[in-house]
């Protein structure tokens, strides 16, 4: 029986995973991996930390957990895969079942036959047609060579100024990296907020944290030109005419799938521009599979196609493609709910499922809630986190969850990701049996408490508004009574300074006479995290007040200026 010939194009994440999976499941298969770049299995998500210097050695980005560099010799010996680096695939001949290749260093060319082909060509950074983009000092952070160059520039330019164009995941991680490396960094984001996977309530909190760490963040304005002299960057001109001097510009406005090879071969592309595949990661050609950043996938909540250029998904997709290439279509990739997380200085920002904005864009009626709390008990060294949950109004099914802060954000997002994947409702999660001990969790875990809050809203027990909604009311001329129900000491340490009235919760029942006589008067109750704000609402409603709302998340979630 002839050996099955499997050819994999691309050697970063999906490609190596596909090749290794194929060989594991069919030891007799002849598996060849072709990689244009000089390296294999690069941990590209680690590039910002290499730039900052927290990843000390370059090879750490290329190693297995045991510290072995994943080079061609490793793939040949440990995996049984022939990995050819510096080898670009220039064409796919579907009729002949061959790929044409070229050695990037020597120009040598050749052809390689395949029985099954896996395309894992990844993505490339978007580079807008900004005048001056060719100047020295303008870079992206997409390749290991980019990371090498940026690391050296950051060392050489300590004390200098850098502008990062784009406030997404890579942009904010690079902001931290360059700030830690000693540069003065400004992030310029054309959209109204950074980190577009978050709703504004949480994005503003992360922005404030970045500013507190010394970074400048400009939103709602783009770059019109990169300025230079003698072939090198000297600054940028914003769309509103302002100029920012700098010696380094990092373009971080997202990535686009690398589909030129697939398109030239006549493979079908999806509506998003990525290669179209079925659940088996099979393309429109039954002998060709595709995986990773170059493909479009299905959003499991909306059913719509989307691009999801994440390293974990690339590995999962590659695993499916590799298995199916040797065993037939036995494995499936069900799509994504869009889970992600990033580090921004001392904060983590994570999300899973749909944001409120994306849910409403999909035509789904949702109810949301904010929760601010410590991640563990105060006596165990708690750190604050703020989260937002998005729930389908008609069913209570959890559709989305996001969390930011200095505490254990990852745990909260992971818990809710599994709840979303399981189709759970807030009622299900409100009684979830999670592991508890003071070093690891509150007695009622933050995620469960978040479910309790939105459960109360769905049952009509709580009427809440986000701090953004409260601020909008004030800006629009409304004059609700802002009722702060914390203690006097807390009030002296931190307060809004917007004419609020302080009535500690423990005194509220005795001091109702100090509130408006009109029981229809609008009142907004809050405390530090608004647990006491909710209790105040219940007290006031029992006393006949019918226009009381709780500012969800309290002062901990207030992203605007305060008096102190």
pLDDT tens string 121-140: 999 999 999 999 999 999 99
Query: In the CATH scheme, what is the code of domain 346-458?
Result: 3.50.50.60
Q: Nearest CA to 295 among 354, 341, 350, 255?
A: 255
At residue 140, φ and ψ (nearest 5 deg) are -115, 180
pLDDT tens string 76-108: 999 999 999 999 999 999 999 999 999 999 999
Confidence of residue 1 (pLDDT cuts 50, 70, 90): low
Q: Do strands 523-526 and 481-484 pair parallel, antiparallel, or not at all (unpaired)?
A: parallel
CATH of 464-557, one of 3.40.190.10, 3.40.250.10, 2.60.40.1120, 3.10.180.10: 3.40.250.10
Q: Which residues make beta-bridge pairs with 404?
A: 349, 386
Task: Name the region of 187 (left: φ>0; alpha: ψ -120 to 50; beta: rest).
Answer: beta
Torsion sign (Cα): 449, 450, 451, 453: positive
**Where does the chain hold its CATH 3.50.50.60 domain(s)?**
5-123+256-327, 138-253, 346-458
In whole angstroms, give the CA distance from residue 75 to residue 31.
Answer: 10
pLDDT tens string 387-439: 999 999 999 999 999 999 999 999 999 999 999 999 999 999 999 999 999 99
Segment 189-218 shows an average pLDDT of 98
The fold adopted by the segment(s) 5-123+256-327 is FAD/NAD(P)-binding domain (3.50.50)
CATH class of the domain defined by 138-253: alpha beta
CB-based contacts of 36, cutoff 8 Å, min separation 6: 86, 87, 88, 89, 104
Q: What is the DSSP letter of 76?
A: I
Segment 355-374 shows an average pLDDT of 97
- Report H helices in 181-306: 200-212, 260-264
pLDDT tens string 433-481: 999 999 999 999 999 999 999 999 999 999 999 999 999 999 999 999 9
pLDDT value at residue 139: 97
pLDDT tens string 223-266: 999 999 999 999 999 999 999 999 999 999 999 999 999 999 99
Q: Tell me the pLDDT of the chain averaged across its residues.
A: 97
**Where does the chain hold its CATH 3.40.250.10 domain(s)?**
464-557
pLDDT value at residue 564: 87
pLDDT value at residue 99: 98
**In the Cβ-directed half-sphere of 374, how many Cα atoms lie within 13 Å?**
14
Residue 2 clears pLDDT 80, i.e. is over it: no
Provide, rounded to the nearest whole percent, the portion of the chain with pLDDT above 90: 99
Kindly calculate the radius of gyration of the chain based on its CA atoms and give it in whole angstroms.
Answer: 27
Question: What separation in angstroms does the CA of 521 have from each of 18, 86, 468, 478, 552?
Answer: 64, 72, 21, 11, 19
pLDDT value at residue 398: 98
Segment 13-33 shows an average pLDDT of 98
């Amino acid at each position: 029986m002839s050996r099955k010939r499997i050819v994999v194009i691309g050697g970063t994440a999906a490609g190596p995973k596909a090749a290794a999976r194929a060989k594991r499941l069919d030891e007799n298969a002849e598996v060849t991996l072709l990689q244009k770049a000089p390296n294999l299995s690069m941990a590209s998500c680690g590039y910002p930390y290499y730039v900052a210097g927290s990843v000390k050695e370059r090879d750490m980005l290329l190693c297995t957990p045991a510290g072995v560099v994943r080079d061609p010799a490793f793939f040949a010996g440990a995996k049984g895969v022939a990995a050819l680096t510096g080898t670009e695939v220039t064409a796919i001949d579907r009729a002949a079942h061959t790929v044409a290749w070229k050695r990037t260093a020597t120009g040598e060319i050749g052809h390689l036959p395949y029985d099954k082909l896996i395309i894992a060509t990844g993505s490339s950074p978007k580079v807008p047609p900004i005048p001056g983009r060719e100047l020295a000092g303008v870079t992206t952070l997409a390749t290991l060579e980019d990371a090498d160059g940026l690391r050296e520039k950051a060392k050489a330019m300590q004390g200098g100024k850098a502008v990062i164009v784009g406030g997404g995941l890579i942009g904010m991680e690079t902001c931290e990296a360059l700030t830690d490396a000693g540069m003065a960094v400004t992030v310029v984001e054309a959209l109204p907020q950074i980190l577009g996977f978050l709703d504004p309530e949480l994005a503003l909190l992360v922005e404030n944290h970045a500013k507190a760490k010394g970074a400048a963040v400009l939103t709602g304005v783009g770059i019109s030109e990169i300025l230079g002299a003698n072939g090198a960057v000297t600054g940028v001109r914003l769309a509103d005419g302002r100029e920012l001097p700098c010696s380094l510009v990092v373009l971080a406005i997202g990535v686009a799938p690398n589909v030129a090879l697939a398109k030239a071969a006549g493979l079908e592309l999806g509506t998003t521009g990525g290669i179209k595949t079925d659940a088996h990661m099979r393309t429109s050609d039954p002998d060709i599979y595709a995986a990773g950043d170059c493909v479009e996938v299905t959003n499991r909540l909306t059913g719509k196609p989307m691009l999801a250029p994440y390293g974990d998904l690339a590995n999962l997709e590659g695993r499916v493609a590799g298995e199916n290439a040797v065993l037939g279509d036995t494995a499936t990739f069900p799509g994504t709910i869009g889970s992600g997380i990033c580090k921004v200085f001392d904060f983590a920002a994570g999300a899973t499922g749909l944001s409120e904005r994306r849910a409403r864009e999909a035509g789904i009626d949702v109810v949301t809630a904010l929760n601010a709390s410590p991640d563990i008990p105060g006596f165990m060294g708690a750190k604050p986190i703020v989260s937002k949950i998005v729930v389908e109004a008609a069913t209570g099914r959890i559709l989305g969850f996001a969390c930011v802060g200095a505490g254990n954000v990852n745990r909260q997002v992971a818990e809710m990701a599994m709840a979303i994947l399981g189709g759970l409702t807030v009622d299900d999660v409100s009684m979830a049996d999670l592991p508890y001990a003071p070093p690891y969790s509150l007695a009622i875990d933050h995620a469960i408490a978040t479910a309790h809050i939105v459960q109360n809203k769905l049952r009509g027990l709580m009427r809440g508004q986000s701090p953004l909604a409260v601020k909008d009311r004030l800006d629009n001329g409304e004059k609700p009574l802002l009722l702060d129900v914390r203690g006097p000491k807390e009030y002296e340490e931190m307060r809004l300074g917007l004419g609020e009235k302080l009535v500690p919760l423990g005194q509220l029942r005795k001091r109702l006479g100090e509130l408006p006589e009109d029981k229809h008067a609008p009142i907004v109750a809050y405390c530090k995290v608004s647990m006491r704000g909710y209790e105040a609402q219940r007290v006031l409603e029992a006393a006949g007040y019918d226009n009381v709302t709780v500012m969800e998340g309290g002062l901990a979630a207030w992203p605007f200026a305060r008096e102190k």
